[in-house]
Amino acid sequence: MCHRNNYKCYFIAVLLFLGFVILVLFINKETRAYAISEAEKNIEDALLTHRAIHSFVEEIQKPEIYRLKETGKLYPEYFAPEILSFTYIARTFKEFLNEERQKAGIDEIYFKLAASNPRNPVNRADETELELLRQLNAGELTELKKVYEKDGKKYLYYVKPINPNKDSCMRCHGDPLSAPDELLDMYGDKKGFHEDVGFIRAMVSIRIPLERWFDNAHKTTVVLSFISFCVLSALYLTIVMFMRRIDRQQLEIEKDYSLLEANARLREEVERITRHDLKSPLNAVINYPDLIQSEGNLTERQIKDLRVIKEAGLRVLNMINLSLDLYKMESGTYQFLPHDVNVITVLKNIEQEYAEILKRKKIRIRYFVDERDLMQNQILYIKGKELLFYCLLSNLIQNAIEASPEDGIITLSLTTGEETTITIHNSGTVPYEVKHTFFEKYATHGKKHGTGLGTYSAKLITETLGGHIAMDSAPEKGTTLTVSFPSAKKKEHNVSAHLSPTPL
Ligand code: HEC
């Protein structure tokens, strides 16, 4: 079965089974209805034959006999039911027809002019027919068509009254004195006499055997049911197979997911331990310079070096703390209170930090604020968090320094307005293969010590600060990184309020 979706499979099985049962019932009903409609056609055919015989006797046979009598070729009292009684002729015709049917292996049809007061005893109504005749005469019934069982066999039973007695019928069905002598000789003066006008003396009684039709219907039902069963089973198997595939996929996804979860937990654990383990030795790096300085007796140079050591330690500590922040930014749980940060100071600090490598590669950094050279002690505030700006810009500048050829110029242009934009340009180019994955996690571009996290965290930080970041690189133009931040308040859009030289 389909394991996890078991109950769904059972449900579908039950549903399909119910559908199958309904279908079989429907097929059975329809095939039986078809069988009956075929039997009805036989009834109609028998009635039409009956009427045709009537027309033949009345319109062709009788006029000919009357002509013979009128021309004296036949004596006036001549009467022979074989030629002059429609009912006799019709009955005999049907008897022959049944014989032919029997020879041809077709079901015989019961057709009778059932009468309560028959002239010919073969026309005597049986008990059922007697009762129906009574009902017809009492006006309780006009016609009857129903499936009827006799001696364990099913028939379609049809009953229709013949026209009631008219004046013309009275000659042979009223007072025997008015009947032809030859009729009296043949049938006597009792049977089929003493009736009134308006009396329904007989009814057409037809029984079509249904067995053969029902057999066919049954066979059709079995075949159609079998086909439906096969189709529904195939459908069910297909569904089960489909569900099993879904099962397997679900399982795989769950496996993958739990693996990912375990990985994430492991990573967090490692990071937590690393942070903790790194922080303890860092305490010594941060605190010992103060201790050494308090001992006194140090040269200016030594004091300056100690400050460099302490600041480096603090920066590493910040970095460790930031790695935790990055994790929060990723999961969208990072929160901070923005305050005004002078980005120019941040940029200058970063330049100082990379002073040595800049000197080694003979790279110069040029600053522009709104397309003008940077003034002494100029300030430019952006709302955010200093550490985040530091980390972001240091990252981007480090990349620019690494990518820039020797003797190159890195241009830092700041633009104020609706947004505050910082562009960092160097003349190196980003390889084509990494252009589209530049800001993606773990996307390195052939750097020896690259973690692939630098640009990713730059994007993360920019977005956390409410800004956006873009990169453009072309062989002739070099590489430009642009970070833009919304300018905080309306009044701060005022450039002069934004940019003002710090009083000394
Ligand atoms: C000329 C005489 C004659 C007349 C008129 C006549 N019948 Fe008959 N009828 C007979 C005879 C004879 C039979 C018996 C024939 C046989 O052996 O089946 C008969 C039989 C029948 C039967 C078959 C049932 C039975 O009693 O055996 C019906 C029904 C019937 N007649 C109806 C009528 C009706 C209705 C009329 C008037 C429209 C009519 N007949 C007029 C002579 C006549």
**Residue 398: enclosing H or E segment and its boundaries?**
helix 386-403
CA 137 – ligand 1 centroid, Å:
18
Atom of ligand 1 nearest to the CA of 164: 35
Please report whether residue 51 resides in a domain.
yes
CA 156 – ligand 1 centroid, Å:
27
| pLDDT band for position 377 (cuts 50, 70, 90) | confident
Highest-pLDDT range among 162-166, 282-286, 310-314? 162-166
- Asked which of 155, 183, 210 is the last residue of a domain, the reply is 210
Say which residue, 395 or 502, is predicted with more confidence: 395
Q: Residue 45: pLDDT above 80?
A: yes
pLDDT at residue 475 in the model: 84
- Asked which of 176, 210, 244 is the last residue of a domain, the reply is 210
Residues paired with residue 35 on neighbouring β-strands, in sequence order: none
Residues 205 and 344 in one domain: no
Q: Residue of the nearest CA to atom 4 in ligand 1?
A: 172
CA 44 – ligand 1 centroid, Å:
23
CATH number at residue 469: 3.30.565.10
Considering only CA atoms, which of 470, 462, 472, 471 is closest in space to residue 382?
462
Query: Rounded distance, CA 488 to CA 485, Å?
Result: 8
Please report whether residue 106 resides in a domain.
yes
Q: Residue 443: pLDDT above 70?
A: no
**Ligand 1 proximal residues by C-beta, below 6 Å:** 81, 85, 87-88, 91, 113, 115, 118-120, 123, 162, 165-166, 168-169, 171-173, 183, 187, 192, 201-202
- Asked which of 173, 194, 210 is the last residue of a domain, the reply is 210
The average pLDDT across 136-153 equals: 91
pLDDT at residue 499 in the model: 43
Phi, psi angle pair for 115, to nearest 5° = -125, 145
pLDDT at residue 453 in the model: 60
Please report whether residue 265 resides in a domain.
no
pLDDT at residue 490 in the model: 43
| pLDDT band for position 492 (cuts 50, 70, 90) | very low
Q: Full-prediction pTM beyond 0.85?
A: no
Q: What is the DSSP secondary structure assignment for residue 138, as one 8-state letter?
A: T
CA 142 – ligand 1 centroid, Å:
21
Strand pairing class (202-209; 339-342)? unpaired
The average pLDDT across 153-176 equals: 93
Please report whether residue 299 resides in a domain.
no
pLDDT at residue 500 in the model: 40
Q: What angle do CA 68, 74, 78 make, to 5 degrees?
A: 110
pLDDT at residue 446 in the model: 52
Please report whether residue 493 resides in a domain.
yes
| pLDDT band for position 33 (cuts 50, 70, 90) | very high
The average pLDDT across 14-27 equals: 93
Q: Residue of the nearest CA to atom 31 in ligand 1?
A: 87
Q: Residue 320: pLDDT above 80?
A: no
Number of domains in the chain: 2
| pLDDT band for position 493 (cuts 50, 70, 90) | very low
How confident is the prediction for the chain on average, in pLDDT?
86
User: Could you tell me if 249 and 257 are in contact, meaning their C-beta atoms sit under 8 angstroms apart?
Assistant: no
Please report whether residue 332 resides in a domain.
no
User: Could you tell me if 9 and 237 are in contact, meaning their C-beta atoms sit under 8 angstroms apart?
Assistant: no
pLDDT at residue 273 in the model: 73
Query: Rounded distance, CA 285 to CA 308, Å?
Result: 11
Please report whether residue 235 resides in a domain.
no
Please report whether residue 368 resides in a domain.
yes
**Residue 131: enclosing H or E segment and its boundaries?**
helix 127-137
pLDDT at residue 497 in the model: 36
Domain region containing 53: 45-210
- Residue 24: both structure tokens together: 């079989």
CA 199 – ligand 1 centroid, Å:
13
Those residues with Cβ within 8 angstroms of residue 437's Cβ, 6 or more apart along the chain or in another chain: 443
